[in-house]
């Protein structure tokens, strides 16, 4: 287990009174680029990709101190980059080292050109470079999922319970600038005790929103103002909040800030987040008859040697 090995390293440093100026807090951080901190170890859960889903799941699983969790992410921790924490820079991260920039197949009606498809390459994934809009899809679409899954529990009502649980809606002051500029909401459709910070952006929310609402009603007579699309009824014209901290700087709230940094998951000895490594292969255990994933292979990039194989105990 990672904690044991890290702890024994720390003890070795202390007993040897090494000259290396390593502090204990150095050993406590879960985020590392160092593959030797995971090789030859077993983890209960291995998560390929430390994006929105990966980090949320890693955080929830590692709340249980009985399980060990490894996340392998191809990008790095980019939290101090303004293209990540400042949503107002939206678009500046595209086609940089923060973007996988996957290429589409050649498109015949675009002279055979390939399009770049944005996909975040860092902790928090696309959630660290997206538009940070916080809303929901139409209730009717969620309610079709049971037809696909055969499981009645995949309904809007049940999903909504978890969506509300993720959210920390920061109710704006009645005289907050965003309200004066046309922001509206209904409290009953927002969660208030989750880790993801959701706010109306006073700084961002001050340009064309009100005019856009009025203009769309002129263009489409009868278009209704929707009090809050988070209800699951999304038709009409409306305003939505963003994933932003409520303070004056309004930094982005992402899976990385909400589920790892603000929950101090980064200090959990049971959680290791390995960055700078791409998962290239899932390993399968066929012994039991059922196909069972038992580990992964990963490598830094296509030119480096595939390094380690890790066995997942519970995957
Ligand atoms: C430009 C843009 C704007 C968007 N705007 C909004 C918005 O305003 N509001 C909204 O709700 N949603 C928005 N979205 C969608 C939202 O960001 C995604 O739905 C969400 O991030 C998907 O989560 P995910 O965990 O599936 O993938 P991601 O969050 O993208 O995470 C995938 C992670 O896996 C890593 N990875 C991939 N392959 C490997 C591998 N082989 N090995 C190791 N790591 C790997 C990636 O680097 C990445 O960190 C936007 C998306 C984009 C691209
Ligand atoms: C990991 O590597 C990246 C890119 O070289 C670097 O910016 C970052 O500081 C490193 N992080 C750690 C925890 O070593
Ligand atoms: C996880 O960490 C806790 C301390 O937070 C420790 O008591 C426990 O033994 C660890 N579990 C595993 C499986 O390593
Ligand atoms: C916003 O994020 C940056 C980068 O992490 C940080 O330096 C800054 O202190 C944050 N602002 C606030 C108000 O927390």
Q: State the pLDDT at residue 108.
A: 95
pTM over 0.85: yes
- Low-confidence residues of the chain: pLDDT under 50: 1-27
Q: How many angstroms separate the alpha carbon of residue 123 from the centre of ligand 2?
A: 12
Supply the residue whose CA is at minimum distance from atom 3 of ligand 3. 65
CATH number of the 134-241 domain: 1.10.1220.110
All structural domains of the chain with their residue ranges: 1-131+252-315, 134-241
Within this chain, domains 1-131+252-315 and 134-241 share the same CATH topology = no
pLDDT digit string, tens, across residues 37-57: 887 788 999 999 999 999 999
How many angstroms separate the first and last alpha carbons of the chain? 16
Label residues 89-128 b or e (16+ Cβ within 10 Å = b): eeeebeeeebbbeeeeeeeeeeeeeeeeebebbbbbbbbb
User: Is the minimum distance from the CB of 177 to ligand 3 under 6 angstroms?
Assistant: no
Q: State the pLDDT at residue 22.
A: 41
Q: State the pLDDT at residue 247.
A: 86
Q: Residue 257, SS3?
A: helix
User: Is the minimum distance from the CB of 118 to ligand 1 under 6 angstroms?
Assistant: yes
User: Is the minimum distance from the CB of 7 to ligand 3 under 6 angstroms?
Assistant: no
In CATH terms, the superfamily for domain 1-131+252-315 is: FAD/NAD(P)-binding domain (3.50.50.60)
DSSP 259: I
Q: State the pLDDT at residue 131.
A: 96
Q: State the pLDDT at residue 4.
A: 32
Ligand 3 atom with the shortest distance to the CA of 269: 2
Q: How many angstroms separate the alpha carbon of residue 51 from the centre of ligand 1?
A: 6
Q: State the pLDDT at residue 13.
A: 28
Check if the beta carbon of residue 297 is closer than 8 Å to that of residue 72: no
Q: State the pLDDT at residue 308.
A: 67
Ligand 3 atom with the shortest distance to the CA of 4: 14
Q: Which helix (H) or strand (E) holds 116?
A: strand 116-117
Q: State the pLDDT at residue 206.
A: 67
Q: How many angstroms separate the alpha carbon of residue 87 from the centre of ligand 4?
A: 12
Q: State the pLDDT at residue 39.
A: 78
Q: How far apart are CA 45 and CA 149, in angstroms?
A: 24
């Amino acid at each position: 287990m990672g904690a044991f090995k890290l702890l024994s390293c720390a003890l070795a440093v202390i007993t040897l009174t090494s000259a290396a100026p390593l502090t204990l807090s150095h050993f406590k951080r879960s985020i590392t680029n160092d593959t030797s901190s995971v090789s030859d170890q077993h983890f209960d859960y291995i998560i390929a990709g430390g994006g929105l889903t990966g980090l949320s799941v890693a955080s929830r699983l590692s709340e249980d101190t009985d399980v060990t969790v490894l996340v392998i992410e191809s990008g790095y921790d980019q939290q101090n980059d303004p293209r990540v924490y400042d949503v107002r820079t939206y678009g500046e991260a595209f086609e940089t080292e923060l973007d996988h920039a996957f290429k589409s197949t050649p498109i015949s009606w675009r002279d055979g050109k390939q399009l770049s498809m944005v996909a975040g390459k860092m902790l928090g994934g696309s959630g660290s470079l997206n538009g940070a809009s916080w809303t929901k899809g139409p209730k009717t679409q969620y309610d079709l999922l049971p037809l696909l899954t055969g499981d009645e529990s995949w309904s809007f009502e049940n999903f909504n319970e978890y969506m509300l649980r993720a959210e920390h809606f920061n109710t704006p002051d009645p005289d907050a600038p965003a309200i004066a500029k046309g922001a509206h909401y209904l409290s009953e459709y927002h969660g208030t005790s989750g880790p993801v910070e959701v706010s109306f952006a006073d700084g961002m929310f001050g340009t064309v929103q009100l005019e856009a609402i009025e203009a769309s009603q002129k263009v489409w007579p009868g278009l209704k103002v929707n009090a809050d699309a988070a209800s699951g009824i999304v038709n009409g014209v409306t305003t939505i909040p963003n994933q932003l901290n409520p303070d004056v700087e309004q930094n982005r709230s992402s899976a990385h800030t909400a589920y790892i940094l603000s929950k101090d998951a980064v200090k959990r000895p049971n959680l290791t987040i390995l960055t700078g490594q791409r998962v290239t292969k899932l390993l399968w255990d066929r012994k039991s008859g059922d196909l069972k994933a038992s580990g992964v292979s990963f490598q830094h990039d296509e030119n480096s040697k595939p390094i380690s194989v890790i066995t997942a105990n519970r995957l």
